[in-house]
Structure 1
Amino acid sequence: MANDNNNDGSTPNQAGPAPGPWKMGRLLLLVLLVVAGIAWVGQWLWYRHTHVVEDYASVTTDLVTVSSRLPGRLESFSLENGDPLEQGQTVARLYSQPEELELAQRRARVARMEARLAFEQRQIQQSQKQLTGGIANARQQLKTAEADLKVAEVTLEDAEQTWQRAEPLYQSGSLSKQQRDRNYYDLMSARARVETARQQVALRQSELDNAEMGLFTGSPMTLPTPELLEAQNAITLEELEEARADVRKQESLLADMTVTSPASGVVARTFVENGEYLSAGQPILMMYEPDNIWIEARVKETDVRKLAAGQEVKIRVDAWPDRDFSGRIEVIGRSATSQFALIPSSNPSGNFTKITQRIPVRISVEEGDRNLLSPGMMVVVSIASSTAD
């Protein structure tokens, strides 16, 4: 029976070949990959749990708009986007030939007024000399007249005494009638000379009074009195100050026709071409200061509680993924960005859909090459939570 069973054509059951080493390696690699994936996902979830990561962020700066205060045709403009600017550097010039001619005319008027003022001052000096000389002459003539009056009064006194002695002598017969009459006529003549001298003194006093007013007898002043000239000079001085003010006004107008850079920075964008006619206040270009840039992140309102001013922030710039940047939180906004939208959302139907709002957060850039950053570049910020959930 045993032989029959062995010759029936059936083969006994045998065990399959053992798995090869390469199959074990693949299995091990698959297990390692699964474990690594789980670890990476776990680490990613933990990182997300302990950090605020926001990709709704960009490089921001204060853009300064440079414009002309005056209208006019653009005569000189050659700046391009990205050109550096220094504070006070000429940005553009407007056509200014009529204004330059007006300035030259006003300066000529100032020069004419200055010459007139100097001439009037010399006239005042000359008039003062004339007046001083005329007054001195009148005083001298008054002194002469007063001296003549004194002589006449002495002569009169002597004549009166002689007459008083002559009358008794004539009555006693010691003096002739002819001599008596001569003494009488001498007395009358002395009295007349005294009256004439008094009138002359009064006349000279009047001439002195007139001389002090610039009125001279026989030789009038060739110039008005110093008082009148000084009054005229004061008017000229006021007109000169007005002319100088007109010059300063025109110089300011001409200076405004040369547009200069208000600060050092970089041209962000230009808006005009050479030869265009500009309106007052029309933008010429926009510029920014490379040293005055920061990151503005719009963080979900649910994550704001995890942030605090001064927290360190890691920054990854999309344009420079191989460069490291970092900074700190400077300001956490107090209002959602939707409150400042140009077109506010309206809800006339009454239907309401709750949407997570965004809060602006300002982040300084403290480490990294700031020259690589340009306004508008997108970044991703990562901030370690300040509170544990």
Structure 2
Amino acid sequence: MDIGPAERSGREVLTERRAGQRRRWVRRVALMTVAVVVLGLGLRWLHWQFTHVVLDDARVGSDMTVLSSRAPGWVREIAISPGDRVARGALLARMDARDAALAVEQYEARLAGISARRSELEARLALVDQTSRSQHEAARARLDAARAALPSAEAERVFAEAELDRAERLSATGAATRQRLEQLRLGAESARQRVLSAGADIRNAEAMMAVALAAREEMGVITAQIEALGPQARELEVQRDRAVLEVEDRTLRMPFDGVVNRVFLEPGEHVQAGQRMILVHNPANVWVDANVKETEVRHFRLGTRVTVTVDAWPGERFEGEVERLIEAATSQFALLPSANPSGNFTRITQRLPLRVRLDPAPPPGMLRPGMLARVTARADGEGLPARP
């Protein structure tokens, strides 16, 4: 039996109604789900906003070191360019140091002359020492020999004179011949001469000893001359070292492993002492400087743990802690402080500087001075160290 057009139309209408109701329920459920998700995200965002403090006024910092020369002069060589990574002790710039180098050579030559003079005096001292010692020993030996010979000569003289005296008495009685008497007289005279000769030898040996002692005194004079060379050499060494320092002061070297930021001169320019020449920094020693509002400073103290993000590295997070909190607002360091003489006053929230030490430290060169950063800290008390 066929169904009529009216019955088919009613069934289609009923089916369409049920389909529409299902679609409406699906939309309602979807909207409710979206609303719940949005509400959850909103609540989470609100909770995060109430429990965190974000400092947008933050930048990466580092020790920017300005290198300069201690002495004036002409620049002869620039060995680096901006952006170069340079090791500690590497040559950066060299100035004209020819005058100082010539002064160093002059003082070295004078020191060499003093050294040669010292060697000459020391050789002369050794020679005088050896000669005077030999002369003294020889004179001592001759003196001992002469003193030993004098008693024997004196005894011979006494014996010869006694024999002569006895012979003269015998000659008076005719018992001694004239020839015998003459021989005894010659023997007595010879004995007297030997005594005189022994005395002369003693005096000669004593004179030789005096000469040897005088030579020993000359050694004292030579020693004094050698000692006088010491202060002269030290004075020249000081002058030489000063000239060497003048040469070194005209050679600019890297004080640490770092990066060259700027070069303020070119070869051929003349610089004065203390004039800035090269700007460098150490990429391994970086931190983050931020300015915190005075209304939020209560959330920060020394040791507060923070999270740092940098615009140059999206998605990267760096951990750190507050290591320095300046106890004065930035307005106190202004060159032209506002005195407000008119009496009109606009209340402006002040900011206090703080510094964040990154722990662990990022790889050298990843963060560069001046990069914009963002510092986030907990505002609900978590991450704050205990008050001292």
TM-score, structure 1 as length reference = 0.78
| CA distances 1:62-100 after superposition (whole Å, capped 9, x unpaired) | 111111111111111143322111111111000122222
The match for 1:265 among 258, 265, 268 is: 258
* Structure 1 residue 201 displacement after superposition: 1.8
Cα gap change, 1:151 to 1:370, in 2 (>3 Å)? closer
* Structure 1 residue 154 displacement after superposition: 1.4
SS in 2 for 1:117: helix
Quick one: distance in 1 between partners of 2:109 and 2:120? 17
Match of 2:8 in 1: none
| CA distances 1:41-76 after superposition (whole Å, capped 9, x unpaired) | 554443222111111111111111111111111111
The match for 2:370 among 346, 361, 376 is: 376
Match of 1:328 in 2: 321
- Counterpart check, 1:205 vs 2:206: yes
Match of 1:14 in 2: none
Match of 2:312 in 1: 319
* Structure 1 residue 351 displacement after superposition: 5.6
CA contact (8 A) 2:135 2:208 kept: no
Quick one: distance in 1 between partners of 2:363 and 2:26? 47
Quick one: distance in 1 between partners of 2:207 and 2:343? 105
CA contact (8 A) 1:269 1:287 kept: yes
The match for 1:293 among 286, 291, 298 is: 286
Which consecutive residues of structure 2, in runs of 5 or more, have no partner in the other structure? 1-16, 383-388
Quick one: distance in 2 between partners of 1:106 and 1:233? 19
* Structure 1 residue 299 displacement after superposition: 0.7
- Counterpart check, 1:385 vs 2:386: no
Quick one: distance in 2 between partners of 1:200 and 1:55? 111
Match of 2:140 in 1: 139
SS in 1 for 2:147: helix
Deviates more, 1:175-184 or 1:150-159: 175-184
Match of 2:98 in 1: 97
CA contact (8 A) 1:91 1:259 kept: yes
SS in 1 for 2:215: coil
Cα gap change, 1:192 to 1:337, in 2 (>3 Å)? same
Quick one: distance in 1 between partners of 2:54 and 2:143? 110
CA contact (8 A) 1:264 1:289 kept: yes
Identity %: 33
CA contact (8 A) 1:78 1:274 kept: no
- What is the total number of aligned residue pairs between the two structures? 362
* Structure 1 residue 32 displacement after superposition: 8.2
Quick one: distance in 1 between partners of 2:26 and 2:335? 62
Match of 1:3 in 2: none
CA contact (8 A) 1:60 1:376 kept: yes
* Structure 1 residue 284 displacement after superposition: 1.2
Quick one: distance in 2 between partners of 1:322 and 1:186? 132
CA contact (8 A) 1:128 1:225 kept: no
TM-score, structure 2 as length reference = 0.78
SS in 2 for 1:292: strand
| CA distances 1:114-141 after superposition (whole Å, capped 9, x unpaired) | 2222222222222223223332343344
CA contact (8 A) 2:72 2:272 kept: yes
Match of 1:218 in 2: none
CA contact (8 A) 1:76 1:93 kept: yes
| CA distances 1:258-309 after superposition (whole Å, capped 9, x unpaired) | 1101111111222222221111111111211112111111111221212244
Cα gap change, 1:180 to 1:386, in 2 (>3 Å)? farther
CA contact (8 A) 1:166 1:180 kept: yes
Match of 1:61 in 2: 62
Quick one: distance in 1 between partners of 2:338 and 2:254? 39
SS in 1 for 2:316: strand
Quick one: distance in 1 between partners of 2:58 and 2:316? 17
State the one-letter code of the partner of 1:79: I
Match of 2:298 in 1: 305
Deviates more, 1:36-45 or 1:257-266: 36-45
Cα gap change, 1:263 to 1:375, in 2 (>3 Å)? same
* Structure 1 residue 325 displacement after superposition: 3.1
Quick one: distance in 1 between partners of 2:75 and 2:251? 10
State the one-letter code of the partner of 2:352: I
Cα gap change, 1:372 to 1:201, in 2 (>3 Å)? closer
Which consecutive residues of structure 1, in runs of 5 or more, have no partner in the other structure? 1-17, 216-223
